[in-house]
Chain A
Amino acid sequence: MLKYVLNRLFGMVVVLFLVLTITFVIVRVAPGDPAALMLGPDATPQDAAALRIELGLDQPILVQYGKFLLSAAAGDLGQSLFFHRPVLSVLAERAEPTAFLALFSLIFSIVIAVPIGIYVAYRRGGAADQGAVSAAMLAASVPSFWTGLVLQRWLASDLGWFPASGYGGPGAGFFDRMGYLILPSIVLGIVNSALILRFTRASMLDVLGEDYIRTARSKGMSEGRVVLRHALKNAAIPIVTVVGLTFALLVSGAVVTERVFNIPGMGSLVVGAVLRRDYPIIQGTLIVVAALYILINLCTDLLYLLIDKRVRY
């Protein structure tokens, strides 16, 4: 078990190395000169050349790569070309809204999707089942920026239930800031709840047809106990898996949602960084996201152990 976790963590290092390499290459082959972009349209070619030397962009690509890997291993992801501050501190500043946005929308989608999925699987083929499956299909096919704009207009502008956009400004307290995340969390959660609902339903349908469910009923327990204790535990592994995957997807989903609601999170940071060719920020974000993704997957796999005693690592 410990050996398994250590193995997985070692695997994570390998993946991170690959992510570092790929981001390094992609960012370098993208057209455009970061120095020229940083200095703006009025800069002379001489200024740009001087800046390129200062940033180390004039050195051979392998030297840049080696330096990049070494400092990354030491925990230094470089300086933002735009903010002129260490990448990690810029990311840390933007992490709060994104982290809470992902967390809230995950909670929202689980709370909505899992109970409905269980219920419609139990009432298979009924009106609720057909309605939920169609609604899930619709929710999954409508892009979240559209849902975002519609809900923003309706719930925030017209009804005034939620703040329409932003993150409360510099003086806002914690709960004030969280209030700004409710509507975006719902928007982001809707798409994911569609996915979780379909998985929950399918997994429950499989399990409810099993012989041991008939055995459970033959013992004389309530239907609630049959479904929530005997069936749900068996259906849990696919559900946990899809929730883990969704959580990882949320981070990328946050990019669009943050733009729509003008939230200063990692999503809007990375969009800005791409437009400004702020390589270190792009690299840093990708690395953090990749590491999160791997950690979440590891947690999912460890959760299997808790659920099913047949799983051995």
Chain B
Amino acid sequence: MNRAPILSVDGLRVAFRSRGRQVTALRDVDFSIEAGRTLALVGESGSGKSVTSLALLGLLPPNGKVTGGRATYRSRNGATLDLAGLPAKQFRKVRGREIAMIFQEPMSSLNPLFSIGEQIGEMLKLHEDLDAAARRRRVVEMLELVEIPAAASRLDDYPHELSGGMRQRVMIALALVCAPQLLIADEPTTALDVTVQAQILDLMRRLQREMGMSILFITHDMGVVAEMADDVAVMYAGAIVEEAGVEALFARPAHPYTRGLLASIPRPDRPEGERLKAIPGAVPPLTALPPGCAFAPRCPHALPACDQPVALEAVLPAHRAACIRASEVMADA
């Protein structure tokens, strides 16, 4: 398999204007996704996961702006594009066709006034030159691919006639109908029942095998990470604090925050009476970040030196962490 990254994000910075003040939401985000693999972007709410995904698609709200860094994307025809500075017109050719996205809320992410056939067909209309009959065939094929029963008869259904799980399948069909190289999935199963969640994850894995796309999977759920990811990037307060392969990260986390996250997963084999280990304190507001490591105030391993800026550096080959005590933390695991 081709292991060259399809997307590499390098020092990405995003700021929002809020009541006249500039608030930095992403501080030097670095990660890369290899072709055909899944990178899970993990973190608590407010850590900047969704902002990262919106920045990559050029969909930041009007008060948000990329203020630095690069996001180098290798397009289907071999050209490299910097998504951090792509003009709006060129971005439209990337969205949907090269990079597609599915969202957290299948209930509200589909337009209630258009049939699902129209909504999926519109994607083809925008990016491919097909006549109406061919478009319709492709839409039916796509609905069959995402396992919607009696697909041909559901084309004229409206979103309100479908269940949450079915709507998320429709969203997936919509996102994948132009066979994008990269799928960004922003908490796609968070709003679904656990059984439906498992079905959707299965479906995404199967489609990835069949279509070969890469997935940027955004989630706060470590269980889903273990299920889906090849690689993991952990975000905290607008920066990546650790990046590694999924086994390495679960077996030997190198950043105290990752360790805390893993320790807070409920486990059935937890001894009776033992309490879940929560990370003390809360994520600092973006307007009041500590000068050095943003996690230091909550960190059990913090030293005075932690008030100096710390970069994401390799602890092992293919395992990077932003912590001055990474090797010790890792050895302790």
Contacts and interface: CB of A to CB of B under 8 A. Distances in A.
Interface stretch (B87-95, B226-234, B265-273): B87-95
A234 B95 contact: no
Interface residues on A, range: 10 to 19
Nearest to A125: B62
Contacts of B100: 218-219
Contacts of B250: none
B268 to A, nearest CB: 35
A310 B97 contact: no
B92 A218 contact: no
Interface in A212-226: 212, 214-222
A218 to B, nearest CB: 5
Nearest to B184: A218
A309 B96 contact: no
B92 A308 contact: no
Given A220-B126, A220-B127, A310-B160, A234 B96 contact: no
B96 A218 contact: yes
Contact of B158 (A220, A222, A309): A309
A234 B111 CA distance: 8
Interface string B61-96: 000000000000000000000000000000111111
Interface string A191-213: 00000000000000000001110
Interface of A is mostly: helix
Contacts of A216: 111
Contacts, number: 66
B158 A219 contact: no
Contact of A233 (B93, B101, B113): B113
A308 B114 CA distance: 9
Interface in B28-81: 57, 59
Contact of B59 (A210, A218, A221, A230): A218
B109 A309 contact: no
Contacts of B7: none
A212 B111 contact: yes
A70 B176 CA distance: 68
A50 interface: no
Contact of B110 (A212, A220, A221, A310): A212
Contacts of B123: 219-220
A270 B270 CA distance: 85
B59 A217 contact: yes
Nearest to B158: A309
A307 interface: yes
Q: Which of A214, A217, A219, A221 has the most CB of B within 10 A?
A: A219
A219 B123 CA distance: 6
A215 B173 CA distance: 13
B105 interface: yes
24 contacts: A210-B108, A211-B105, A212-B108, A212-B110, A214-B103, A215-B103, A215-B109, A215-B110, A215-B111, A216-B111, A219-B96, A219-B100, A220-B91, A220-B94, A220-B95, A220-B123, A220-B126, A221-B92, A221-B122, A222-B92, A230-B111, A233-B114, A308-B113, A309-B158
Given A218-B101, A219-B123, 6 more contacts: A215-B103, A215-B174, A216-B111, A217-B59, A218-B57, A309-B158
